Amino acid sequence: MKSVLIGSQRIVSVSEILISTAVFCLLLVILKAWQRIPPGLRKLRGPRGYPFIGNILDLGKNPHLALTQMSQKYGDIMLIHLGTRPVLVLSGLETIKQALVKQGSDFVGRPDLHSFKFIGNGETFTFGRNSEESWRVRRRLAQNALKTFAMSISPNSSTCLLEEHISKEAEYLVMKFQDLMKEKESFDPSQYVVISVVNVICAMCFGKHYNHEDQELLSIVDINNDFGAVAASGNPADFFPILQYLPSRSIETFKDLNQRFNMLVENLVKEHYVSFDKNNIRDITDSLISFCQDKKPGSDANDSLKDQNIVGIVNELFGAGFDTVTTGLAWCLLYLVTYPKTQRKIQEELDQIIGRERAPKLSDCAVLPYSEAFIFEMFRHSSYVPFTIPHCTTRNTVLNGFYIPQDTCVFVNQWQVNHDLKLWNEPSVFNPERFLATDGTGINREECEKVMIFGLGKRQCIGQSIAKKEIFLFLTTLVQKLEFTLSGPEMVDMTPQYGLTMKFKKCEHFRVKPRF
């Protein structure tokens, strides 16, 4: 419809009036959402944000660094706005312990982020907003399954199944790296580490050990890699609810990856049902099936866990053990070539305590303090998990004198804790010795407990014990038999790239040579 002119006056068309009204209404809705800040949060300090977008521009490409700097001005309990959502940011080890441990029930929830709905159909114990009793039952079941597997003894040897699987893959990597040096001048070890770690997780969850060229294994690796890349880019709809109703290529990709992986896990679980034998529990999936079949009618477990939930639990255990371990091992190798003196100290410890006649075992961790100190310093210095998965308050509460309303989204800045000048001497310096006891013969456990990488409290990563064991056994096996160097004098760029887990830029300049 065209507008008309009467004399020198332009008469606005009906369509223009409708468009203007629609735009006005949209802006009014956004403005109201922006202004809807719970009264209690208004007393909290924080940076002033921009209308509609909040503090998103203030975070830049490295939110962990930006929020750490802000905390120095506004304190350990700080309020920011991401789009229309107010977010509480916690820094400082004691403040985080107060929230997640001492007041754990108040901060145990998960926020209603749009992207969480597509992970395990929103019914996961890690991301889901299901009832507290429901996720507790599932979490407890997953913990028991992990513990049972970790303690299971291999029928082929006297070692536990977990140790057998890790050792087998670590030995494979030793041979693979040596073969690669016969073919090329240097290589990128990360892509091979990923496949070995996934193979260990497949053995844990499904009792399957794949050939490294197996298409099903490579498909699992590809899905997990793609998931990490998409998740790292973030989902604006989490903080701008109106975007949930608009087409989004990133969210469609995210949904597709979750559906593909769910289908893959579902098929493997179905295979387990066919061959299941309650007298022969082979892996984590068998343990979960056994629980479902043994549950009694009317029990909490019966109400909260159905057979189809096994897929979701296995899915989460698989995802949790994949990125944390592979990224940790990649950083270990990077620190080895960046600090060759540190690498030699680990090798000297291995030579003195274990020798060269046998491979390291999980039980050796207690007598290899420098190797363990190296791993803790890798966790601290890299802080490759900069934030925990977002928390949410389950009720109105008070933290350090500040009133925090129910359903407040909470970010926990682990990077800040690991680089806090109040906790660490020269936190920017890589120094494994900081975790050794005064006499150098053991580990200073009090210092180790200050490192944050797996979260704290009721939502702490359930796989942290196994993740630490994997990293320890992979690392010591590789370093015992190989020396890692770079192909040239140039240094690797150690600048972390921000994401759910922070990685460094791809490096194809690694070299190895046998130590004996």
The helix, strand and coil proportions of the chain, stated in percent and rounded to the nearest 5, come to 55, 10, 35
**Which of 115, 72, 108, 26 has the alpha carbon at shortest distance from 413?**
72
**Which of 74, 29, 72 has the alpha carbon at shortest distance from 49?**
74
Q: What is the DSSP string of 32-54?
A: HHHH---GGGGGS-----BTTTB
Residue 486: strand pairing partners: 510
**How far apart are alpha carbons 445 and 463 in whole angstroms?**
20
Amino acid residing at 326: T
Q: Is 409 annotated for ligand binding? A: no
Question: Cα–Cα distances in Å, from 224 out to 128, 207, 217, 284?
Answer: 20, 19, 11, 19
Q: Where are the beta strands (DSSP E) in 110-240?
A: none
Q: Which residues of 185-198 are buried (b: 16+ CB within 10 A; e: fewer)?
A: ebbebbebbbbbbb
**How far apart are alpha carbons 232 and 496 in whole angstroms?**
13
Q: Which residues of 142-177 are buried (b: 16+ CB within 10 A; e: fewer)?
A: beebbeebbebeeeeeebbbbbbbbbebbeebbebb
**How far apart are alpha carbons 316 and 288 in whole angstroms?**
13
Could you tell me if 117 and 259 are in contact, meaning their C-beta atoms sit under 8 angstroms apart? Answer: no
Question: Cα–Cα distances in Å, from 330 out to 327, 506, 510?
Answer: 5, 10, 11
Q: Where are the beta strands (DSSP E) in 54-203?
A: 77-82, 85-90
Residue 497: strand pairing partners: 503
Could you tell me if 370 and 432 are in contact, meaning their C-beta atoms sit under 8 angstroms apart? Answer: yes
Annotated binding residues, as ranges?
461
Annotated binding residues for heme, as ranges?
461
